[in-house]
Amino acid sequence: MTTRTFSLSLPSAGRAPRLTHWLLMAALWLSAGPALAQQSPRPSAAGQLPAQARKALYSASFEQHAARLYARAGLGPTGLTLPVFREGLVGYYNLQAAAGKGRRTTRPVLTLIDFARPSHQKRLWVINIAEGRLLFHTLVAHGRGTGDVEPVAFSNLGGSNQSSLGFYRTAAATYEGKHGTSLKINGLDPGFNTNAESRAVVVHGAEYVCEDFIKQHGHLGRSQGCPALPVAQTKAIIQAIKGNSIMYLHGPAAARYRSKWLNVDTAVEIFAQTQGLAVR
């Protein structure tokens, strides 16, 4: 099979094309198929594009990457929607940028919990972003103050017994607590989850997180705000996500969650850098 190569040819300054021409060039490159899509334009060439066209190229490349990763990991049949996955991916790249500014390096694993779904459904996903592989898909409990079957209330306050939405970074090491092997998580969204440590919100296993409990009660048991896991899977999941990986707890629209980590423009820029589209 012959492999085609792609290069972005720039005209002289005296014959600068209009923005629409560059937008068309970006669209043609992105639609050219897998063989071409794996070959990024040279950073020097992309950097000479008009700002709007460069932004369009980066954005289109990011959206294509998100869709392909979603498909490669087989997330659709599991019930995880592309918009929720995309939000998690946006935060993942933004937090990589934060790590590049002197903070801790982000492990290429993203954990998504969709608290817009009822507790009897499997609503936790652990995804290896680098490999495009789904590592775990399982049950997870919400806080008893958050609701019965459907999660409806969320809080950052101590004593609320409610789950806290947003992005978290996992601790480097585990510890043995009253629930066995556990993992601390650091909330990264002021006003939404930054009291996680003082509230002792951690990842741990619980007997009430299992199919048998659902059959008996119609829903999972509830925690004091922790994302509690099935006991049989807890150690393996914690082992996979410990070490500064990113967790994203998504909630229903009525929760009015907002975050700087969901800034698409900055996520697209850092994505472009990691893919060699933009110069760091």
For the chain, domain boundaries: 71-265
pTM over 0.95: no
**The pLDDT of residue 52 is above 70:** yes
pLDDT given at position 67: 97
Convert the pLDDT of each residue in 203-245 to its tens digit.
Answer: 999 999 999 999 999 999 999 999 999 999 999 999 999 999 9
pLDDT given at position 227: 98
pLDDT given at position 48: 66
Average pLDDT over residues 20-25: 48
The domain defined by 71-265 folds into L,D-transpeptidase catalytic domain-like (2.40.440)
**The pLDDT of residue 9 is above 50:** no
**The pLDDT of residue 16 is above 50:** no
* Mutual angle of helices 51-72 and 82-99, in 10-degree steps: 120
Convert the pLDDT of each residue in 89-142 to its tens digit.
Answer: 999 999 987 876 655 567 899 999 999 999 999 999 999 999 999 999 999 999
* Mutual angle of helices 51-72 and 264-274, in 10-degree steps: 80
Burial of 253 (C-beta count, 10 Å sphere; 0-12/13-18/19+): exposed
Distance of alpha carbon 88 from alpha carbon 16, whole angstroms: 38
pLDDT given at position 252: 96
Distance of alpha carbon 280 from alpha carbon 268, whole angstroms: 13
- The C-alpha angle with vertex 40 and arms to 247 and 61, in degrees rounded to 5, equals 45
